[in-house]
Structure 1
Amino acid sequence: MNLKIDVQDAGQEYRITLAGEIDAYTAPNLKEKFMEIAEQDDVRITIDLTDVSYMDSTGLGVFIALLKAIKKHNGSLKFVGVSERLKRLFDITGLTDILNVNSQVEGGVK
């Protein structure tokens, strides 16, 4: 399956909506898109995972690289629409301690 990436740009604030699977096949394209945005100063990124049906460790690696790049440029990163399944993956790997993960979508509950 493919991964759909929708980027909404409002100046230094981005909302990225992902749909599909984040795995070894789709992660390189995702990382490329993210890094273009992450290297801006003071950028704020919200990633909506509502429609992500699957994610493996490759996807987690992309998000860690994204967080490092954003912090280097004084930006912020948060996740919304995180399913119980994905939340468990973040919990098991300890990433909920360093990533802003929220199961609610702004403007409503998933």
Structure 2
Amino acid sequence: MNLSTTTHESHAVISVTGRLTAAGAPALRAAVQELVDAGSARIVLDLAATAFVDSSGLGAIIGGLKTARNAGGDLRIAAVPEPVAAVLRLTNLDRVLRAHPTPETAFDGD
């Protein structure tokens, strides 16, 4: 798994490439914490290139959501491929994390 972070005027984007599993979950948690510590608590996870997510990956996403919200922000997901969307539906996390079409639209209207 690879992560890349870009900061925009109103939010930051973390792009996740590959498989988000137990091996990569700590890196995602750390990336979210670094952004929050730097003052960017509005975060979008761009999952367009994410092939798979397991329970540890889901835990890291929910942990990131809590971290961002505790800092007065939010964590949103975007460009979710069908295999990842299926896992979110299966775990009912699609009710907690509403998917947005693109990272650019995740904070539209806010």
TM-score (norm 1): 0.83
Alignment of 1:1-110 (within 5 A): 3-11=1-9, 13-39=11-37, 43-102=41-100, 104-106=101-103
CA-based RMSD of the aligned residues comes to: 2.1
Q: How far has the Cα of 1:73 moved from its partner? A: 1.3
Identity among equivalent positions (%) equals 25
| Uncovered stretches (5+) of structure 1, i.e. residues with no partner | none
Q: What amino acid is the match of 1:74? A: G
Q: Runs of 4+ in structure 1 displaced over 4 angstroms?
A: 39-42
Deviations 1:47-100 (A, max 9, x none): 110101111000000011111111111102211110111111111111111112
State how many pairs are aligned.
Answer: 105
| Uncovered stretches (5+) of structure 2, i.e. residues with no partner | 106-110
TM-score (norm 2): 0.83
Secondary structure at the counterpart of residue 30 of structure 2: helix
**Structure with more of its chain in strand, by fraction:** 1
Whether the 8 Å CA contact 1:5–1:16 is kept in 2: the answer is yes
Q: How far has the Cα of 1:105 moved from its partner? A: 2.1
